[in-house]
Structures are given as C-alpha cells and as structure tokens.
Structure 1
C-alpha cells in the first residue's frame, strides 16, 4: 500500500508540472454576464493577459510561480487577488463584484467650457518612431500632460508612422500622477477606439465621454485586440526638444512596471533615450 501511495504522489506531481496554461472565464457576479477585456496579471511582472469578448482568458504558467498572486481588475468592479495555486485548484470561472461606490454624474451645466485649448503635439519628426517589438493585448503606452485648469477633453489626435497590423483596438485610459508616474485610473467608463489605417494622422472624438480634468494627468493607449503580426510605430520626438514634450512611459502587460525607456528608430539608429510620444488633445477650458 505504501508503494502504491508513493507512486500516486509522484504521478500527481508530474501531471501538475506538465500543465503549461490555465484557461478560465471571468463574469459579473450578479448578472453572470462575461466581462470583456478584463485586466489580468501579476504586479511588477511582464506577465499578463486580457479576457476576450466572451470573458475567456488563458494564463501562461511556464514563467509563473505557484506562490504568485494573480490580479483580476475591471473598471467599476472590485479587484480580485488570488494565489495561482488556489486559482488552478478551483473551477474555471472567476466572478467579480460590482463596486458599490456610486459615482457622481458629471453635469456639464455646472461648467462653461467655452475657450479652446490645445495640449501636446502630434509629431514633429516623421523619421522618429516609438514602437513595441511585441505589440500585443495588454501593452500600454502613456504620456504626461501638465494641466492647471479645469478642462473638458474633446478630441484625441496621434500619428501612426507605420502599422503592419490588420486591425488594432485600443482602450484610452486617463491616470492621475503620483511621484511623476501614472497611478490610478480617472475614467468612470471604458473608452475604446479602433483603427485599420496603416499610417497617418488619426483623430477621435471624446466629447461625449465627459472627461473633465483639473490637474496634471497621463493619457494612455492600451492595446486591447490585436489582429495580425508586425510593428506599430507612433510618431513623436525626443523629450526636452520642445517645451510641449511630456514624459512617456510604457509597459508590456497589465500590472507590469512602467518604464521610461523606449527604442527610437531614426535613420536605422536605435538607442534608448528619453522620449515623448506624439499625442495632441483638443480641450475646452471652464471659464465659470
């Protein structure tokens, strides 16, 4: 009996170690509806993923320790932290609770957004590009904006120098600033934009999203649904060349560390230098 038990334990351990991925689904706990594009990852590690339109997700187990904590985060819901070992041993479904905090509805009648103001730039050097080598769902790039007024964001404009992807869906996030870096999201709802353009100047209307900001902030573009393979190159310029330049950070997956280094391609010269991604915001200032 002792020999049989030992063999069983060895076999179980071997089977567990051979598992290279975990597949699951994430739902709203109350409505049981799937949560689309839920952020899933490990804090400060370039390991993460997003759920798809059906709430389905796959976690690569080959680079994760069983003691690591997986985070499930979705705007308007309470985040769920769970040890990988516990996640593997439970059923495949994850349920998130809606955040009970009631957000004050933004009423534009309380403001007078009459004066137009432009923040940032689109791009200055067509031969300078900022790009991800492995642009995939969860990759994110953000740019700092200094702001001392109460503004309403109307339009988002950025330059694509090259796009080898078939289709790209992005989520637009706004973050507050702590110690010069992006911190907590300021959005009260998700904002999605989509492009099939290979290159050129892209403009998106955000007026109906009622984004009101009254201090310094970061705006980010997060890859949500990437179809095809290849590079996606943003236009921009070196940080500090212009007074309009704003520090840019990036990360390869949800909850990874933000990094302020980027690879710049300028006449085939590639090096890591401070940079600014070319983003312009058309806003209106509150004059009340």
Structure 2
C-alpha cells in the first residue's frame, strides 16, 4: 500500500481501549514470511502509546480469527514519521490474504494518533472494541505496509 496520490490524515481521535484499525493485505506468493510492519504517523498527541499488532484470517471479506501464536505488543513515542515494528522474531507465515491492524491497549483519553491515508488501496476496516463489530470504510486506505520475504 503506497501513498502516491493526495494524502489525508486519519486514525484514532478518542483513544478508547480496544479501538482497532487496519487493512486487508493481498499476498503475492505463498508462503509469505512477514518481517516488518510499517505505518506513517501524521501526528501523535499522546506522547508514548502502547499498542498491539494483530493479524487475522478473513471470512466474507472481514477479519475473523487471529493467526498469531503470541501477542505482538509495542510502544512508541514517535510524533511524526515512519513507525516500524520488527516482526522477524514472531515467525509469521501466511499462505492467503489476511488482515493486519493496530489495536490501542491503553486508554489515553482525548488527543489523537493519526496516520497518513489516501483514497486508493485496501479499504480501512475498524472496530471500537476488541470484540466489537467490524466496519469497512470503502473510500479510505491507510498507508500501512509490510516488509515480506518469499
């Protein structure tokens, strides 16, 4: 997912524990080994924020079950720029399209954590609680991407 077109800023405005945003990733070859998660932070008004990177299989075009063996917990103080999470130690291998997301796991109140987004690419899928209903935003796509090996 690249941001070649006009970009906008979108993300978490009110940090509610369990808020989750992500995109569907279409694999090019199988097996695919995931090495890195990347996102471009447009602004972070929270300071240090703690989050979980989630990977799900798909059912009817929406995230279904986690494909991870263990939680991927990270934190960052990045205010603006590229956020990179090294995933090599998690040995994530996929053989079909999947969903990747960021889930906020600390309640930080009002503030804002936004990522660069555009109007092309994989639609954004969100939910407001860790077991809530998934919502697809067809016209918006985050600039999340993964570094992979085949």
- Which residue of 1 is the match for residue 82 of structure 2? 201
More helix by share: 1
1:140 aligns with 2:20: yes
Structure 1 CA distance, aligned partners of 2:7 and 2:15? 20
Find 2:101's aligned residue among 200, 220, 242.
220
Structure 2 CA distance, aligned partners of 1:126 and 1:194? 29
More strand by share: 2
Moved over 2 A (4+): 123-127, 226-229
The number of equivalent residue pairs is 149
- Which residue of 2 is the match for residue 128 of structure 1? 8
TM-score by length of 2: 0.91
Would the aligned equivalents of 1:167 and 1:226 in 2 still touch at CA under 8 Å? no
- Which residue of 2 is the match for residue 169 of structure 1? 50
Aligned-pair RMSD on alpha carbons?
A: 1.7
> Runs of 5+ in structure 2 lacking a partner?
none
Structure 2 CA distance, aligned partners of 1:124 and 1:204? 23
Would the aligned equivalents of 2:19 and 2:103 in 1 still touch at CA under 8 Å? yes
Q: Which deviates the most, 250-259 or 221-230?
A: 221-230
> Runs of 5+ in structure 1 lacking a partner?
1-119, 240-244, 262-272
SS of 2:129's equivalent in the other structure is: coil
Structure 2 CA distance, aligned partners of 1:203 and 1:216? 21
Find 1:235's aligned residue among 94, 116, 120.
116
**Structure with the larger RCO, 1 or 2 (CA within 8 Å, 6+ apart):** 2
